[in-house]
């Protein structure tokens, strides 16, 4: 109860002789008047700090090395201390943004000092240190902002490692899996899991393409996240890791339709023994899980983890699998009357048709005819699907 | 209270790390070993990149008879160069390989990253990680490519190195 409210109410309590005046005063002592410290002051500090930083940035080349060191160290510490104070006493939000500024100064300082003192990095290790600081802040403060900061720094560092060193930096991957993965496991937060998944796939792409591994390792990587979803599941929540794995694999299949032409598939068949070993273990595990689950339809998702590249004319095979996938979700959606499945099947069906059309008709049709016919085809298709969906929805409402 | 202590602990570690980065650089001058190397022309032709010059070194090109490692190495693998001081104080390459060699008096061991093999000229290219020399902005025009230069570097016992000067 607020003090003002209590002040009014207790007056009445005394009049009604529920409590005495002395008791009233003692009660009010427990609700001290709030000290409204101006948030403006904090913003003023923030602006002064940022002004100072931009000023030094523009005069950077005139400063001696020790002067630069002093500027970096002092501004970083000042933002950290101010942030901690404000966080505790006034506004957690403003406080954590001050701390975030300090974290950014720390990152900038690593690179600037590295440049000042001619350090050469052989890997993305500056990003590792920086993201460790961010993750450390999260574990101490438990503020989501620092989780996101850590995820962004880790991801950017990994992409940097891939682009500059053509190398996957193992420790950043480890920090994501063990550090942030643990947070997701512990907190079961949907946005945390989503950000984790985004970083996971970006890093997987870096791993596969900079390490020179065949693309099919992505199947195993996304299947691992698909299965891991079972460990962070929470009732009533979107299964974001499963969904992301399915979307990712759908995209992979979509590209396979165009790239798994004749000739390419054969080059992939070497050295895939380990892949099939891991794949088989995960796949069996996934099948068992889906067989044990209460809904008997999740096995349809597993179609997307079929390693089609192993078969001759994998492009056609990808197309067939995608059509099966779409139709199975459509059919079981109608049967079980689950609107979400119907929507999923519809989207998959439209995209697959589009891919098939592009793949089959692009080469031998006149361009204008191609688009014209394609438009008509999509129009007819969406009309049919929409009609079916509406009648289905009506039935659902009537029941 | 405990949380506050952890927080300031983390902040101090960050500040300490930055100080160590700077400190290590200065400490190298005292405890490090000075080595003079000769530059070699680099690709691209214009080595000037605004605030740094691109340097290549003589010792980064290893001929077949100096090479003692495996035949086919992947790019990015760590290799060790054994350098020895010649007359006039410039260090030259003795041998290179994937195993760390023992160094005697007047010799130093330098770690490098393997780049690629020029099979036609049978030369192994490596990168010692000192290929950028930062200079004051907009003063780079005085660095010309074709001149051969001497670079003084210093090696710290804690596996760090830096360019001291470029003559």
Contact call for B19 and A73, based on CB within 8 A: yes
Q: What pLDDT, on a 0 to 100 scale, did the predictor assign at position B48? A: 53
- In whole angstroms, give the CA distance from residue A333 to residue A311: 30
A175-184, B25-34, B39-48, range with the lowest pLDDT? B39-48
- In whole angstroms, give the CA distance from residue A64 to residue A46: 26
Question: A315, A257 in Cβ contact below 8 A?
Answer: yes
Residues 134-163 of chain A with CB under 8 A from chain B are 136-137, 140-141
Q: How many Å lie between the alpha carbon of B126 and the closest alpha carbon of chain A?
A: 13
Question: What is the mean predicted confidence (pLDDT) over A315-328?
Answer: 88
- pLDDT confidence bin for A270, thresholds 50/70/90: low
- In whole angstroms, give the CA distance from residue A335 to residue A100: 51
Q: What pLDDT, on a 0 to 100 scale, did the predictor assign at position A338? A: 82
Contact call for A118 and B134, based on CB within 8 A: yes
Report which of A198, A128, A114 is spatially closest to residue A161, judged by C-alpha positions. Answer: A128
Question: B32, A118 in Cβ contact below 8 A?
Answer: no
Contact call for A106 and B14, based on CB within 8 A: yes
Has residue A399 got a pLDDT over 60?
no
Is the CB of A77 inside 8 Å of chain B's CB atoms?
yes
Residues of B with Cβ-Cβ distance to A122 under 8 angstroms: 113, 129
pLDDT, mean over chain B: 78
A202-211, A369-378, B133-142, range with the lowest pLDDT? B133-142
Whether the pTM exceeds 0.80: the reply is: no
Contacts of A221 (CB under 8 A, 6+ apart): A200, A204, A207, A208
Q: What pLDDT, on a 0 to 100 scale, did the predictor assign at position A64? A: 81
The CA distances from residue A23 to A6, A34, A381, B98, in Å, are 13, 21, 76, 84
Please name every residue paired with B54 in a beta bridge, in sequence order, or none if there are none: B132
Has residue A92 got a pLDDT over 80?
yes
Question: What is the mean predicted confidence (pLDDT) over A357-372?
Answer: 74
State percent of chain A over pLDDT 70.
Answer: 90
What is the separation, in whole angstroms, between the first and last Cα of chain A?
47
Contact call for A84 and B4, based on CB within 8 A: yes
Q: What pLDDT, on a 0 to 100 scale, did the predictor assign at position B132? A: 76
Residues 111-130 of chain A with CB under 8 A from chain B are 113-120, 122, 129
Question: Residue B7: closest CA among chain A residues belongs to which residue?
Answer: A140
Residues of A with Cβ-Cβ distance to B136 under 8 angstroms: 61
Has residue A36 got a pLDDT over 60?
no
Which of A203-217, A356-370, A380-394, B153-167 is most confident? A203-217
Q: What pLDDT, on a 0 to 100 scale, did the predictor assign at position A156? A: 95
Report which of B48, B50, B114, B105 is spatially closest to residue B80, judged by C-alpha positions. Answer: B114
Has residue B87 got a pLDDT over 80?
no
pLDDT, mean over chain A: 84
Q: What pLDDT, on a 0 to 100 scale, did the predictor assign at position A387? A: 79
pLDDT by residue (tens digit) across B50-63?
A: 567 778 888 888 88
Burial environment of residue A365 by CB neighbours within 10 A (0 to 12, 13 to 18, 19 or more): middle
Question: What is the mean predicted confidence (pLDDT) over A149-170?
Answer: 91
Is the CB of A106 inside 8 Å of chain B's CB atoms?
yes
Q: How many Å lie between the alpha carbon of A82 and the closest alpha carbon of chain B?
A: 12
How big is the A-B interface in CB pairs under 8 Å?
71
- pLDDT confidence bin for A130, thresholds 50/70/90: very high
- pLDDT confidence bin for A263, thresholds 50/70/90: low
Q: Helix or strand or coil: residue A250?
A: helix
- In whole angstroms, give the CA distance from residue A354 to residue A352: 5
DSSP A314-333: HHHHHHHHHHHHHHHHHHHH
Question: A169, A202 in Cβ contact below 8 A?
Answer: no
The shortest CB-CB distance from A77 to any of B11, B133, B160 is to: B11
Q: What pLDDT, on a 0 to 100 scale, did the predictor assign at position A117? A: 78
Question: A312, A265 in Cβ contact below 8 A?
Answer: yes
Name which of B1, B3, B5, B7 to mutate to probe chain A: the one with the most chain A Cβ atoms within 10 A of its Cβ: B7
Residues of B with Cβ-Cβ distance to A70 under 8 angstroms: none
Q: Number of C-alpha atoms within 13 angstroms, CB side, residue A73?
A: 17
Q: Number of C-alpha atoms within 13 angstroms, CB side, residue B108?
A: 23
The shortest CB-CB distance from A120 to any of B14, B21, B129 is to: B129
Question: Residue B12: closest CA among chain A residues belongs to which residue?
Answer: A77
DSSP A161-203: HHHHHSS--HHHHHIIIIIIHHHHHHH--HHHHHHHHHHHHHH
Q: What pLDDT, on a 0 to 100 scale, did the predictor assign at position A385? A: 77
Residues in chain A: 399
Has residue B79 got a pLDDT over 70?
yes
Contact call for B21 and A136, based on CB within 8 A: no
Cα angle B132, A168, B55; round to 5: 10
Q: What pLDDT, on a 0 to 100 scale, did the predictor assign at position A292? A: 82
Q: Where are the domains of chain A?
A: 1-34
- pLDDT confidence bin for A245, thresholds 50/70/90: very high
Residues of B with Cβ-Cβ distance to A115 under 8 angstroms: 134
Contacts of A87 (CB under 8 A, 6+ apart): A94, A95, A96, A98, A99, A141
Is the CB of A165 inside 8 Å of chain B's CB atoms?
yes
Contact call for B10 and A61, based on CB within 8 A: no
Question: A253, A318 in Cβ contact below 8 A?
Answer: yes
Contact call for B7 and A141, based on CB within 8 A: yes
- In whole angstroms, give the CA distance from residue A348 to residue B1: 54
Q: What pLDDT, on a 0 to 100 scale, did the predictor assign at position A13? A: 87
C-alpha torsion A48→A53→A58→A59, nearest 10: 100
- In whole angstroms, give the CA distance from residue A26 to residue A20: 10
Question: What is the mean predicted confidence (pLDDT) over B110-121?
Answer: 81
- In whole angstroms, give the CA distance from residue A118 to residue A105: 19
Residues of B with Cβ-Cβ distance to A129 under 8 angstroms: 17
The CA distances from residue B38 to B57, B86, B123, in Å, are 6, 12, 18
Q: How many Å lie between the alpha carbon of A140 and the closest alpha carbon of chain B?
A: 6
Question: What is the mean predicted confidence (pLDDT) over B99-110?
Answer: 81
Q: What pLDDT, on a 0 to 100 scale, did the predictor assign at position B84? A: 85
Q: How many Å lie between the alpha carbon of B61 and the closest alpha carbon of chain A?
A: 19
Q: Which residue has the higher pLDDT, A162 or A260?
A: A162
């Amino acid at each position: 109860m607020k003090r003002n409210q209590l002040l009014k109410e207790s007056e009445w309590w005394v009049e009604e002789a529920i409590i005495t005046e002395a008791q009233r005063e003692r009660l009010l002592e427990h609700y001290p008047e709030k000290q409204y410290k101006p948030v403006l002051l904090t913003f003023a500090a923030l602006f002064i700090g940022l002004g100072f930083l931009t000023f030094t940035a523009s005069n950077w080349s005139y400063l001696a090395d020790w002067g630069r060191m002093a500027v970096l160290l002092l501004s970083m510490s000042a933002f950290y201390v101010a942030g901690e104070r404000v966080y505790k006493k006034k506004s957690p939000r403003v406080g954590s943004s001050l701390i975030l500024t300090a974290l950014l100064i720390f990152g900038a300082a690593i690179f600037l000092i590295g440049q000042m003192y001619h350090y050469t990095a052989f890997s993305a290790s500056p990003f590792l240190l920086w993201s460790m600081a961010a993750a450390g802040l999260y574990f101490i403060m438990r503020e989501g902002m620092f989780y996101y900061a850590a995820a962004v720094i880790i991801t950017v560092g990994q992409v940097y490692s891939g682009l500059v060193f053509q190398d996957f930096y193992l420790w950043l991957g480890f920090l994501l899996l063990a550090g942030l993965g643990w947070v997701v496991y512990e907190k079961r937060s949907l946005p945390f899991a989503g950000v984790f998944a985004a970083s996971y796939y970006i890093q997987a792409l870096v791993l596969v393409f900079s390490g020179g591994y065949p693309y099919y390792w992505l199947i195993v990587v996304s299947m691992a996240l698909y299965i891991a979803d079972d460990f962070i599941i929470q009732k009533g929540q979107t299964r974001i890791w499963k969904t992301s794995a399915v979307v990712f694999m759908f995209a992979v299949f979509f590209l396979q339709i165009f790239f798994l032409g004749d000739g390419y598939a054969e080059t992939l068949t070497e050295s895939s023994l380990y892949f099939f070993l891991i794949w088989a273990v995960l796949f069996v595990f996934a099948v068992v899980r889906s067989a044990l689950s209460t809904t008997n339809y999740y096995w349809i998702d597993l179609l997307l983890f079929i390693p089609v590249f192993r078969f001759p004319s994998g492009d056609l095979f990808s197309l067939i699998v995608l059509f099966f996938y779409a139709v199975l979700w459509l059919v079981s959606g109608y049967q079980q009357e689950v609107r979400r499945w119907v929507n999923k099947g519809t989207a998959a069906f439209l995209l697959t048709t589009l891919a098939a059309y592009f793949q089959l008709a692009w080469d031998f049709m006149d361009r204008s005819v191609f688009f014209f016919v394609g438009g008509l085809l999509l129009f007819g298709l969406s009309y049919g699907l929409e009609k079916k969906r509406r009648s289905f929805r009506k039935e659902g409402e009537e029941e | 209270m405990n949380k506050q202590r952890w927080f300031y602990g983390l902040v101090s570690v960050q500040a300490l790390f930055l100080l160590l980065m700077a400190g290590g650089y200065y400490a190298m001058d005292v405890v490090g070993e000075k080595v003079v190397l000769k530059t070699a022309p680099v690709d691209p032709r214009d080595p000037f990149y605004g605030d740094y010059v691109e340097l290549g070194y003589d010792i980064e090109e290893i001929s077949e008879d100096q090479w003692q490692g495996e035949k086919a190495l992947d790019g990015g693998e760590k290799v060790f160069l054994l350098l020895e001081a010649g007359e006039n104080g410039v260090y030259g390459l003795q041998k290179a390989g994937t195993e760390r060699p023992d160094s005697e008096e007047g010799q130093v061991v330098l770690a490098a990253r393997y780049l690629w093999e020029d099979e036609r000229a049978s030369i192994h290219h490596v990168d010692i990680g000192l290929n950028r020399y930062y200079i004051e902005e907009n003063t780079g025009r005085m660095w010309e490519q074709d001149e051969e230069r001497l670079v003084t570097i210093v090696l710290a016992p804690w596996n760090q190195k830096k360019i001291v000067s470029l003559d």
